[in-house]
Structure 1
Amino acid sequence: MTEPHEWPEEHWRARVGHIRAGRGLRPESWPRGAKCAVALSFDSDHETNELRDGAESLARLSWGEYGARRGIPRIRAVLDKHGVKASFFVPGVSALLHPDEQRELVAEGHEVGLHGWIHERNTLVPPAEERELMLRAADTLERITGKRPVGMRTPSWDFSDVTLDIAEELGLLYDSSLFADDDPYEILNRGHPTGIVELPVEWIRDDAVYFMMNRYGAQRPYTPPADVLDIFRREFDGAHAEGGLFLLTMHPHITGYRSRIFILDELLAHIRATGDAWIATHEQIARYCAETAGLKGNA
């Protein structure tokens, strides 16, 4: 294998061109005269954070259980208080460990989307196995919730060489794992439009980067919760000013603590106070963008 500085132009162009942002899908107007759209998402990793690495720590497994036992109820209570619906991205194994949680979320009008099988790092999984795991996860979520998922978020926020091919095979409406914009866009696969809506993520709008720690390493939480709220609020204010999308990623085992749940509560109060923000599930936002832009044929 040659060094990157030795690659011929056709090689690095092909690498860069594999998955790209196509046309922007931010609509000229949002439903009901809203100025911006808000997509709240919760990655319900639960015990799979540790299981994917071989389940070496029983204590870390219990940390994942906390997300289901305490985090999810607190999050649901805040969402209910403000009368909003959200999207929960759930690994297949998490759904099997906590099936009632998924059924209740769907019954309440929330969305449950794909998040891998066991929170695997999809870029390290052979292509045939990645396909089998995605299909198995989709079947599992459908069996538990009664509704087949129409969107995905990869556990590693990354694509392998075949991830997008599998998403096309599954006929997914949207993905929420990539970073090429603030607002929705259509994903291109080797130059051809896929019809799949990308709802972009960003580490800035993810609670994990501010609050994660490693007991045996140097990683420690470094940002006070009040400062995290300020960052999220400023991200929303920017989306509101531009008329775009504000997408937030949170984790039940990270934000679901007594000292942190206020972030979600106060952020929603701030968003609702504008009076002109459309808060919807990822599916609803992706479907609206797809229909407005005339995208063909997924989900």
Structure 2
Amino acid sequence: MKKFKESAFWKSPAKVSIILFVVLEIITFYLQPNVLTMSWISLKAESAITLLFAAVGETFVLLVGGIDLSIAGVISITSSVAAVYMQDSWISVILVSILCLCIGIGVGLFNGFIIQRFRIQPFIVTFATWYICGGIAYLVLPRDGGDVPQKFVSVLTHRFGGKFSVAMLIIIVCLILWTWFKKTRLGISLYAVGNNAHAASLNGINVKKVNYFAYAASGIFAAMCGLYRVAVTATGSPTAGESFFNQAISATVIGGTLLTGGIGGQYGTIIGVLAFKAINDLLVFAGASSYWSTLFQGALLIAAVLVSTISEIRNERKELVE
């Protein structure tokens, strides 16, 4: 028992999301024994990929001790721009996609600059940026609609062999890239800045550049979320991002990334997103009303925060004793 408690899994910040996801899936398979097929897994990956993009980007910012509410505005503006300006040609699809990604990076760098240069709270800065982007989105696309090229839709919703979806491939790539990135100098610097920015600076880490990167990464992933949402729904919306920022932060926290920074990572975030989506599946299979989904998600968020906080307090006490 003692060895189990001291194991790498038990110390992992992602343990809550992993246990939660496994329990939810066991219950789901019990209610629907024949549901586990490659097509079903692909479908679940497609339903989770937009939230996954938003949550992965938010994780970078939370790791440095910040927060990014502007992802809602970035998702809305990229969704609107893609739906309005993307034409039925590969050149247009590529150029507009690059434009949307540049918008995401630009908004992220703007957030990082204002926060670092003027020492304004990230919550205030990103909240204001969210509203600015939301206003621009309404100017580009006053109401839901637009004409999304079938080329763009077919690429992002394609299934290899009719079963393995592009969304599944993206999730696998994200996991592989994070495995590599977290061991790089920049990846280590994210954790160092989140734990103690002053100490990181004294050790030669450029705190400003690390923060710029974190917010730029959040922006570009939010832009990818907006683009993928356009492909999945085949329409744009000036309010596309309003349902994402709270879910992204919730899934990230459930995945073990602390709001105080320095602890967490993309493994837990991805599992947290899948657990978030598994709640909806379970309620559907159980025949419960969809209105219960928000209640359960909120309760799980509180439980995850409590477990993470208690774990951190215990770890700090152990370190003091040792």
With the shorter chain as reference, the TM-score category is under 0.3
Q: Normalization by structure 2: what TM-score?
A: 0.25
Considering only CA atoms, is the larger Rg found in Structure 1 or Structure 2?
2
Q: Normalization by structure 1: what TM-score?
A: 0.26
Larger RCO, structures 1/2 (Cα 8 Å, 6+ apart): 2
Richer in strand (by share): 1
Richer in helix (by share): 2
